[in-house]
Structure 1
Amino acid sequence: MPKYNDELKIKVVKEYQEGILGFRRLAKKHHIKSKSLVERWVKIYEKFGEEGIKSNGHKGTYSVQFKLDVLSFIKRTGTSETQTALHFGLDSPTLIASWKKSFREDKAEALDRTRGRGTMSDRPKNKNKKNINEKELTNEQRLERENELLRLEVEYLKKLQAFRANPEDYLEKHKQRYHSNSKKSSN
């Protein structure tokens, strides 16, 4: 997917707001792959202003619970990825699409994977040392991982039950937490 620069995005949004051209014609005029992309930029601009559609160069990190809550919200409400992204303060509906795909393929475990390579300190310094304890560590790590996933599942089910009991109160109570979780890290 081609990346579009911030100036083009802002220019397209402002042209749309002038009311002369619609999404499809603007996409064609500026060689943008789809009208839905133009529509998304307009919605993001309307909710977050220029800062919302500007690329800031790094990605935020989101907890597994937050990702599960977002996916649960989509399933329950039937809203689109774009509407859900706006609701949760995310600037990329494609991020939600990747969470959906990961969840479909590998369930909650896939949502806990970090992207990219680990740091050098995560790698063993002495390969022989690793081989000696490999079976022990692998089994222990596997059990710890399984416990972690079971804890997450229980926590998720409790929150889902609370939401089903009273959706409006649950969303209002957790709205601030979602908003602060969706802020991008500045590291």
Structure 2
Amino acid sequence: MAKYSEKFKLMIVKEYQEGKLGYRRLAKKYGMNDTKLMRRWIKVYEQFGANGLMSKRHKETYSVQFKLNVIRFMERTGSSELETALQFGLTSPPLISSWKKAFLEGGAGALEKPKGRRQSMSDKAENRRKQPKEEKDVTHEQKLERENELLRLEVEYLKKLRAFQMDPEGYLEKHKQRYHSNSKKISD
């Protein structure tokens, strides 16, 4: 997929907001095959302003519970990735897709895996040599504590899900969740 500059994205959004061209004509004008990206840029801009279109140099990290909440919300409401991202303040809807895939393949534990460059075999061997035996035991204990915490979070989530299933309107009113409507403009 082509990488577009923030300046280009902002130009597209501004031109769309002028109201002279719809999604398809703008896509054709700028040689884009699909309007999906353009639609996302416009919705993200409407929600977060120009900062929403900026590429993130510093990647934000999200808790496992947050990721689970996002995935469950999307499943429960039938919202699209874009609608869900906007609901949770995320500027990158494809992030949700990767979380969902990881969750389906490996459960909640797969959501806590750190992203980034993997260590080479020589780096791992060197780290093992430097690490004292006591630290290995503590690491195992910390892993068990983390797993216990995740299980507690899952139980808490299931309680909230049950409350939602019993009274969806009351639950949503209590938590003041809002649903975003579709774009106001109709494409040509």
1:10-49 pair list within 5 angstroms? 10-49=10-49
CA 1:33–1:103: 2 relative to 1, 3 Å: farther
Structure 1 residues 172 and 66, CA, compared in 2 at 3 Å: closer, same or farther?
farther
Q: Identify if the C-alpha distance between structure 1 residues 32 and 127 changes in structure 2 by more than 3 Å, giving closer, same or farther.
A: same
Matches within 5 A, 1:147-158: 147-158=148-159
2: CA distance, partners of 1:68 / 1:77: 14
Task: Report the counterpart of residue 163 of structure 1 in structure 2.
Answer: 164
In structure 2, the CA distance between the partners of 1:11 and 1:116, relative to structure 1 (3 Å rule), is same
* Structure 1 counterpart of 2:66: 66
Alpha-carbon separation, structure 2, partners of 1:64 and 1:138: 19
The residue type equivalent to 1:24 in the other structure is R
* Change over 3 Å in CA distance of 1:82–1:61 after alignment to 2: same
Q: What's the RMSD between the two structures over aligned residues?
A: 3.2
The TM-score, its normalising length taken from structure 1, stands at 0.75
Which residue number corresponds to residue 82 of structure 2? 82
Check 1:46–1:139 CA distance in 2 against 1; reply closer, same or farther (3 A cut).
Answer: closer
* Percent identity of paired positions between Structure 1 and Structure 2: 59
**1:124 alignment partner, SS class:** helix
Q: Deviations over 1:130-185 (max 9, x none)?
A: 6x997x78975664454344223212212222333444554455569xxxxxxxxx
Runs of 4+ deviating beyond 6 Å: 136-139
Residues 147 and 2 of structure 1, relative CA distance in 2, 3 Å threshold: same
Name the residue aligned to 1:126: 129
Q: 1:154 to 1:18 in 2, by over 3 A?
A: same
Residues matched between the structures, number: 172
| Paired AA for residue 95 in structure 2 | L
Please give the secondary structure, in 2, of the residue aligned with 1:126.
Answer: helix
- CA shift for structure 1 position 129: 5.2
Find the residue that maps to 2:82 and give its secondary structure.
Answer: helix
Alpha-carbon distance in 2 for matches of 1:65, 1:128: 30
1:34 alignment partner, SS class: coil
Structure-1 separation of matches of 2:3 and 2:37: 11
1:24-72 deviation digits (Å, cap 9, x = unpaired) = 2222322335201101111111122212222242221111111111111
* Distance of 1:143 and 1:4 partners within structure 2: 43
Aligned to 2:184: none
Q: Distance in 1 between matches of 2:52 and 2:141?
A: 44
Q: In structure 2, do the counterparts of structure 1 residues 67 and 169 end up closer, same or farther at CA, with 3 Å as the change threshold?
A: farther
Distance 2:87 2:146 in 1: 32
Task: Map 1:111-122 onto structure 2 (within 5 A).
Answer: 111-117=111-117
Mapped partners of 1:125, 1:105: distance in 2: 29
Instruction: List gaps (5 residues or longer) in structure 2.
Output: 178-188
